[in-house]
Structures are given as C-alpha cells and as structure tokens.
C-alpha cells in the first residue's frame, strides 16, 4: 500500500454518467463493486459523489459503500436542502455524510441564505463538514469576505492550474479540509500531443514543456505527486472507469517523487474543461 493512498479520494461521477475526454465508458454495477473493493484494499477511505451525477449515489448504495467516508453535493435546482440531503442518505444507505458541498457556487451567490440549511445539517450531526465546490479564486474571495463558516472545500489544482495556491496555507490554518480535483486535467496530460482536438491545440506547447520536465518519468506519478506532496492538501480526487485504471493510479502514487515544474500557461481559459466544448 502506498503511503499516499489514504490521501486519495475516489471520484464517482463516472459511475453515474460518462465523463471526461478519455472516458472508457460507464462501468457496470458489478465493475463498480470490484472497483470499490480494490479501493478499500488499496487504502482509499473517501468517496466523492453528488446527486447531480446521474444515479451514482444509487449505484454506490447498491454496491455497498458503508466502509467509506462519503462527501456528496447539493446541486442547483435541488429544492429543499435537507430534503435533497436525506435523499442522498437514502440512496447511499448511510445515516450521515462526512461532507456535504454546495455543488454550484451560483446558488449561494443568488441566495446566500441557503447556507443556513447547510449549517443546520452540520449542527444536527448529519454532515460532519460543509462547504463548497469552487472553480475560481474569485468565488473563494467572496466567501472569505462574507465570513462564511465553511470547513470543507473542493477546487481544481494541477500542474497547469495553481490559481488557488495563494490561499492553501491560510485555509489549512483555518481548519478547512482541502480536496483538489482535476489532477490529470481530465486526462489531458496523457493525450497524444500530435492528435489534440482543435480546441486544445493552444495547449500543445504547454504539454511539450511538461514532457521536457518529465524527462521520461511516469506522467501520472508526476501529476499525482504535485498534489499528494503538498502538505496543505488533505484529499486528491481521482476518477476511474475500471479496476485496471485504479491499479495504475495506485502504482503511480507509489512511484511519486519530487516534482519540479515551473511553467505558466497563457491560455488559462482552457484550464477549465467546460471551455473545451
């Protein structure tokens, strides 16, 4: 077992719908069960899901996810927060969640009072930690300016995107649990540099710069190490479609070494996969 395995968080969006540019397709329920078993054996203790991920929560519940810590999310249009939350509990077969995030920041921005419902879930002991899934530091700045009492955050961080780095130490010192996603930038780091989709061609030079820094090393280990080695990060999300991919991620985590890559991406708009369409 890798010393870093417990820091890995298994993302489950693939279990409810096809996701990512390198997706091998949505796995069957039996495959999900095998993935969860392997995850436990390998040292993963936390699952990340959402009621917005198709039927991912139901799939997890039917496969038996009782041994995991669960972080789920409240989506835009979710209706009453506690009702939505309890729906997640029922589908997952859990009596409480270790974390509950507001999936879409715009919900809080349009109606800050929604946060009261999250605090009630925490006060009742139904959710261990509450917080937000963020996309940009400007969103975090708004929360900090308003003094919102969150203690769990999820946001993107990878070799190309370090936009939240100026806040990591402060958040850690505030007692906020930090989970980062998009470690592999939805598989971009593994794509053939000569066959990039037209929309991603502006990133070809950045990928070649990464190749030079890799100098023949395992790109997955390099990308994972960038997040796993950061002392302020508590959880690093990974997503898999099958057991083979999870084994590869475990192997990569075991091969993590020092990461040196000082490179600034100019097309920062392309660091958000939403803009790849």
Q: Which domains does the chain have, with CATH numbers?
A: 5-276 (3.20.20.100)
pLDDT of residue 4: 86
Question: According to the model, what pLDDT value does residue 117 have?
Answer: 98
Q: What does pTM read for this prediction? A: 0.95
- Beta-carbon contacts of 117 under 8 Å, excluding residues fewer than 6 positions away, are 80, 81, 82
Say how far apart CA 235 and CA 70 lie, in whole Å: 12
Contacts of 6 (CB under 8 A, 6+ apart): 43, 44, 45
d(CA 254, CA 251): 5
232 by Cβ neighbours in 10 Å (0-12 / 13-18 / 19+) ranks as: middle
Instruction: Determine the pLDDT at residue 23.
Output: 52
pLDDT tens readout for residues 33-87: 999 999 999 999 999 999 999 999 999 999 999 999 999 999 999 999 999 999 9
* Percent of the chain whose pLDDT exceeds 90: 94
Alpha carbons 129 and 131: distance in angstroms, whole number:
7
Are 2 and 254 spatial neighbours (Cβ–Cβ below 8 Å)? yes
> Residue 100 has what pLDDT?
98
* d(C-alpha 266, C-alpha 160), whole Å: 10
Which of 58, 260, 67 shows the shortest CA–CA distance to 159?
Answer: 260
* Phi-psi domain of 62 (left: phi exceeds 0; alpha: psi -120 through 50; beta: other): alpha
pLDDT exceeds 80 at position 24: no
Looking at residue 54, its pLDDT comes to 93
Coil, strand, or helix at residue 139? Answer: helix
User: Which residue do the tokens 């835009």 mark?
Assistant: 76
Please check the confidence at residue 199 and state whether its pLDDT lies above 90: yes
Per-residue pLDDT band for 22 (boundaries 50, 70, 90) equals: very low
Separation between Cα atoms, residue 193 and residue 139, nearest integer Å = 33
Query: Looking at residue 49, what is its pLDDT?
Result: 98
pLDDT digits (tens, 9 = 90+) for 85-127: 999 999 999 999 999 999 999 999 999 999 999 999 999 999 9
Residue 153, by phi and psi: left (phi above 0), alpha (psi -120 to 50) or beta? beta
What is the average pLDDT value for the chain, to the nearest integer? 95
Q: What is the DSSP string of 140-196?
A: HHHHHHHT----EEEEE--SS--TTGGGHHHHHHTT-EEEEE-TTGGGGGGS-TTS-
Q: Report the pLDDT averaged over residues 121-140.
A: 98
Eight-state DSSP code of residue 26 = P
Q: Please say if the pLDDT value at position 26 is more than 90.
A: no
Distance CA 7, CA 24 (A): 25
Q: What is the pLDDT of residue 25?
A: 74
| Helix (H/G/I), strand (E/B), else coil: 203 | helix
What is d(CA 130, CA 119) in angstroms, rounded to the nearest whole number? 7
* Beta strand segments in the chain, E: 8-11, 46-48, 69-74, 97-102, 127-133, 152-156, 177-181, 235-239
Q: Does the pLDDT at position 21 exceed 70?
A: no
pLDDT at 166: 98
């Amino acid at each position: 077992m890798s010393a870093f395995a417990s820091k890995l968080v298994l993302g489950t969006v693939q279990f409810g719908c096809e996701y990512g540019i390198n997706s091998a397709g949505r796995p069957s329920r039996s495959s999900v069960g095998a993935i969860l078993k392997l995850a436990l054996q390998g040292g993963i203790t936390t699952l990340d899901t959402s009621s917005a991920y198709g039927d991912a929560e139901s799939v997890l519940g039917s496969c038996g996810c009782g041994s995991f810590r669960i972080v789920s999310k409240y989506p835009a249009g979710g209706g009453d927060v506690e009702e939505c939350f309890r729906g997640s509990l029922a589908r997952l077969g859990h009596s409480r969640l270790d974390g509950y995030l507001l999936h879409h920041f715009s919900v809080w921005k349009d109606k800050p009072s929604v946060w009261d419902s999250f605090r009630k879930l925490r006060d009742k002991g139904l959710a261990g930690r509450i917080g937000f899934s963020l996309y940009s530091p400007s969103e975090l700045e708004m929360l900090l300016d308003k003094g919102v009492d969150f203690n769990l955050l999820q946001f993107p961080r990878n070799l190309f995107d370090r936009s939240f780095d100026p806040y990591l130490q402060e958040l850690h010192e505030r007692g906020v649990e930090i989970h980062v996603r998009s470690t592999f930038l939805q598989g971009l780091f593994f794509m053939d540099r000569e066959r990039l989709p037209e929309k991603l061609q502006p990133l070809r030079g950045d990928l070649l710069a990464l190749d030079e820094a890799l100098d023949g090393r395992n790109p997955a280990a390099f990308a994972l190490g960038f997040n796993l080695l950061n002392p302020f990060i508590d959880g690093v999300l990974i997503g898999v479609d099958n057991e083979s991919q999870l084994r590869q991620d475990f192997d990569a985590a075991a091969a993590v070494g020092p990461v040196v890559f000082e490179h600034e991406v100019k097309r920062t708009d392309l660091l958000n996969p939403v803009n790849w369409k």
